[in-house]
Amino acid sequence: MRFGVYRILPHFPSHLDLHLLLSPLISLSSPSFSSSLSIHSYPYHSTSSFLTHQKFHSGGKISPILRPQTIGYNKEQRPYATMDLGEETSEFKRELYPDIEPHISGQFNVSDLHSIYWEESGNPDGHPVVFLHGGPGGGTAPSNRRFFDPEFYRIILFDQRGAGRSIPHACLEDNTTWELIKDIEKLREYLGIPEWQVFGGSWGSTLALAYSQSYPEKVTGLVLRGIFLLRKKELDWFYEGGAAAIFPDAWEPFRDFIPENERDCFITAYSKRLNSEDIKTQYAAARIWTTWEMMTAHLLPNEENIKKGNDDKFSLAFARIENHYFLNKGFFPSDSFLLDNIQKIRHIPTVIVQGRYDVCCPMMSAWDLHKAWPEAELKVVPDAGHSANETGIAAELVAANEKLKAHLKTGSTLK
């Protein structure tokens, strides 16, 4: 019998008081396939190393591409092995990779209404990995590329409907989990990728689970961070007063923006304002909604992150799309939908990274996922909150990708 391993890094006594405070509280609770592209030089390879160049037909289809053999992923090696978690990820690289630029980027029409921004960086002949951003509505950032070895991975980033550089901006029409899952598949097919590794944090972990459960045969591995299963108790914890016990100072502006007679459900109350016909009302609600989350996303306050709440373009998409998904319970048919369908992905090599003091997505969700899926490795970072940019979490995410990289290169069972 195979047993999963739950591993916690050494706990720091300086966080004991917060641990004691947080633990009991946590227990409370057919589209047009046109595309415009910008093509740049490939990093990590000299110009002479490429045998042929990319060609793009009118209508945006990508022609077959001849690429040189590179070290790294062998497409004949397709391991679908259950993870044996005896090996410490501390043996793998843990430092973020240097900044890189995409060599291809473009807009991809996934429907008559929505066009999503996408980009590719790293090794164009490497093992594909797709990055699923959080929010929903958060969009991607250049720093997201740094979790992956650019000589091994073909790194695909895209902004989900209405987010980041996708258009229409902050649009809620035809914007559901199931439409996003279709978009991921359309993008995979458009790029000519037979299968890929999936990486997602926060809402990205939700979408990664939902996508992999819908298309398990297309997923070679999963790295999940800050687990969010979009259950009622998780939404109640963060938006109905639970997390206020940890951040009362940040909670009060969020609470006080809503009149007392509408405070029985803050998600509903904010929905009314985020969808107001008055754009000034939308912006005001979006700034407060976004600031609440940005103030709670790190173990220690991060001023640069908090400033995102004052960016009207970012906060409008972030708040409107998040609220839309949460009001509709993620468009899932049941509260425990993702946990109920773990059997479909149990065979996929997976690493889960969770900050011990994550207030946005409390550890109870990662723990519930771990209990339902012991074959996946759970890494708990003892001195971190929610953000992927916190030092300990970033290190574990890099190590997780390195571990899956080693698995792909050797084709052997992870140990």
For residue 104, the cross-strand partners are: 39, 120
Q: Which of 133, 298, 370, 386 is catalytic?
A: 386
How is the chain split among helix, strand and coil, in percent rounded to 5? 40, 15, 45
State both tokens at 209: 């689970």
Which residues, 6 or more positions from 377, have their beta carbon under 8 angstroms from its beta carbon? 4, 5, 7, 83, 85, 89, 350, 351, 352, 400
How many residues are present in the chain?
Answer: 415
Strand order of the β-sheet with 153-158 is: 6-8, 377-381, 350-355, 219-225, 196-201, 127-132, 153-158, 115-122, 104-109, 35-39
d(CA 390, CA 269): 32
Is 358 part of the annotated catalytic residue set?
yes
Beta strands in 226-365 (DSSP E): 350-355
Place of tokens 């009149």: 259
Give the CA diameter of the chain.
68
Q: Which of 105, 202, 214, 271 is catalytic?
A: 202
Q: Which of 125, 149, 159, 358 is catalytic?
A: 358
Is 202 part of the annotated catalytic residue set?
yes
Residues annotated as catalytic (active site), given as ranges = 202, 358, 386
